Structure 1
Amino acid sequence: MGEKTINYDRLKQGGFLRQRQKEDLFSMRLRVVGGQLTADQLRALAYASEKYGRGEVHITSRQGLEISYIPFEQTEELLDELEKSDVHQGTCGPRVRGVVACQGNLICPRGLIDAEDIAQKIDKNYFAMELPGKFKFAVTGCPSSCMKVQENDLGVMGGLEPAWEEDKCTHCGLCETVCPVEAIKVKDKELYFDRDKCNLCGQCTEICPTDAWTKAREGYTIYVGGKVGKHPRFGVKLTELVDEATSFKIIDKSLEFFRTEASSGERFGDTIQRVGLDNFKTFVME
């Protein structure tokens, strides 16, 4: 009987990465949405890493997990075992990768959106979608941007536009103190608000003791075209404070644009630059 042929491209598509050792050893990338795992999943991962690997689980830079040193002949057995605990393999290559997210307004005091919920919906709709190149999503709950949405192909950020009610204001100056971008100035019983400077963090509405600062609008700010790597690029703000339905329409149109306009292996931001940002905006926002 001849040697078994290994389809490495198929393994890579499913989240398997061949290691540098001469033996047929693989690292298995696992599908983790927004960094969330249950205790049962963690127990299953610990058991699998000891049984099939070397008892180690690597946490990737994108909130994913990898089990390494898996012999090729045990890969299917490992997958079957993990899937019983609702742990599934990830993906590599030219397709939508796992989405990263912070904990959003369910836990973080500064969170303005349910980042975990949005991440789950993005994963459900787009995970492993075939595209000309890799495509990475990030969701962050507020402009602190803990998940670095500007460094991803498409980033979703929570935002809040404040409104000031003069008759409720005591000019205590707390809002000026917490504003991270100096958009608020309080002097001589006068308050000055520079909307152009405002980064939509909503901290003024949280700290105001008299509710003089209220929510005028809130929603999702979308960044596109970011990436890191050998040729990093900072994403550009496409639109701000749109609702959830509009956000997903923008995502759909962005992926359609990338699918039809990108060259093989090209990243989203490079496609936008080559075709033209104005042309991209016209296509996505029409």
Structure 2
Amino acid sequence: MDEKTINYNRLKQGGFLVQRQPEDLFSIRLRVVGGQLTSEQLRALADASDKYGRGEVHITARQGLEISYIPFEDADNLLDELEGRGVRQGTCGPRVRGVVACQGNRVCPRGLIDAEDIAKKIDDKYFAKELPGKFKFAVTGCPSSCMKAQENDLGVMGGLEPQWVEKKCTYCKLCQTACPADAIRVEKGALHYERDKCILCGQCRLICPKDAWAVSREGYTVYVGGKVGRYPRFGVKLTELVDEDTLFGIIERSLEFFKKEATSGERFGDTIQRVGFEQFKAFVLE
């Protein structure tokens, strides 16, 4: 194995991908958490692309960035310069990949959790962790699921269970109109709330002008086993409205289960299906 092959194998683990051109050109995958970049990082990317590539930066499907057309001999200098300006290298292969997230309640009126904060904590703790196969996280601020929590190996979704405060209610029907799940009916001076239909989106509380909807419970809903690609699968809801400590306990146990039970190259959902969801659930939650 020559020096070039050794270097390439090292770079590939960090998201350095060979291109289809016959010359030695590569795309460098960069580490972005929840799609957030500072203006200085953007300047660094523009400078690096102009200097080493073709003045282009590609935005990936998972909020990541790639600079393409990088000559192999420039790889180390490119990475050093980017790192010096706060832009870190990404990853690929059988590892925890970059975490995608919406802006959550920092920006979005519908956001129920600080999705950026949770994404950063997941990234800090688990990014590039070695596993039997690739593992993807998504954090979405509410059940609108803009970040497609159900299409990832482990998805985190903000949720809120409302509680009706009768003495404040004027029966204006705004909550009935706003509820996307038809879980609320207002008729003849009475309000009926069907918890089984509720999707925990909090729209009733957001729209009510009289604060007649309070918070009964709120927290993180967890989906597991989703994926896209050649053989897509919708994730399964594991639990709902857990607190942050419980969430990270679930993440830790899920990765432990995957590392213990998966075969090489297998995806998390395939492992769960092969071993059995109830056995997985007992391992993670009990």
User: Secondary structure of 1:76's partner?
Assistant: helix
User: Secondary structure of 2:4's partner?
Assistant: coil
Report the CA distance between 1:12 and its aligned residue: 1.3
User: Secondary structure of 2:283's partner?
Assistant: helix
Q: Which deviations, in whole Å up to 9, do the C-alpha atoms of 1:16-71 show, x marking residues without a partner?
A: 00001111100000000000000000000000001000000000000000000000
Q: Which deviations, in whole Å up to 9, do the C-alpha atoms of 1:130-168 show, x marking residues without a partner?
A: 000000000000000000000000000000000001122
Report the CA distance between 1:207 and its aligned residue: 1.1
Distance in 1 between residues matched to 2:261 and 2:3, nearest whole Å: 39
User: Secondary structure of 2:180's partner?
Assistant: coil
TM-score by length of 1: 0.98
- Say whether residues 1:5 and 2:20 are aligned partners: no
Report the CA distance between 1:6 and its aligned residue: 2.5
Q: 1:77 is aligned with what amino acid?
A: N
- Say whether residues 1:245 and 2:245 are aligned partners: yes
Q: 1:5 is aligned with what amino acid?
A: K
Q: 2:142 is aligned with what amino acid?
A: C
1:57-206 superposed matches below 5 A: 57-206=57-206
Report the CA distance between 1:4 and its aligned residue: 4.9
6-15 vs 178-187, greater mean Cα deviation: 6-15
Report the CA distance between 1:5 and its aligned residue: 2.6
Distance in 2 between residues matched to 1:137 and 1:46, nearest whole Å: 27
Q: 2:139 is aligned with what amino acid?
A: V
Structure 1 residue runs without a partner (length 5+): none
1:46-57 superposed matches below 5 A: 46-57=46-57
Q: 1:165 is aligned with what amino acid?
A: V
Q: Which deviations, in whole Å up to 9, do the C-alpha atoms of 1:159-197 show, x marking residues without a partner?
A: 000000112211100000000111001111111111011
User: Secondary structure of 1:264's partner?
Assistant: coil
Root-mean-square deviation over aligned CA pairs: 0.8
Match of 1:282 in 2: 282
Distance in 1 between residues matched to 2:167 and 2:64, nearest whole Å: 50
209-218 vs 109-118, greater mean Cα deviation: 209-218
Report the CA distance between 1:9 and its aligned residue: 2.6
Identity %: 76
Match of 1:233 in 2: 233
Q: 1:121 is aligned with what amino acid?
A: K
User: Secondary structure of 1:54's partner?
Assistant: coil
Report the CA distance between 1:276 and its aligned residue: 0.1
Q: 2:102 is aligned with what amino acid?
A: C
Q: Which deviations, in whole Å up to 9, do the C-alpha atoms of 1:76-100 show, x marking residues without a partner?
A: 0000000111101100000000000
23-32 vs 201-210, greater mean Cα deviation: 201-210
Distance in 1 between residues matched to 2:103 and 2:174, nearest whole Å: 27
Structure 2 residue runs without a partner (length 5+): none
180-189 vs 260-269, greater mean Cα deviation: 180-189
Distance in 2 between residues matched to 1:233 and 1:10, nearest whole Å: 31
Q: 1:150 is aligned with what amino acid?
A: Q
Aligned length, in residue pairs = 284
Q: 2:19 is aligned with what amino acid?
A: Q
User: Secondary structure of 2:70's partner?
Assistant: strand
Q: 2:259 is aligned with what amino acid?
A: R
1:212-227 superposed matches below 5 A: 212-227=212-227
Distance in 1 between residues matched to 2:30 and 2:47, nearest whole Å: 15
220-229 vs 206-215, greater mean Cα deviation: 206-215
User: Secondary structure of 2:167's partner?
Assistant: helix
Q: Which deviations, in whole Å up to 9, do the C-alpha atoms of 1:263-286 show, x marking residues without a partner?
A: 000000000000000000000001
User: Secondary structure of 1:269's partner?
Assistant: helix
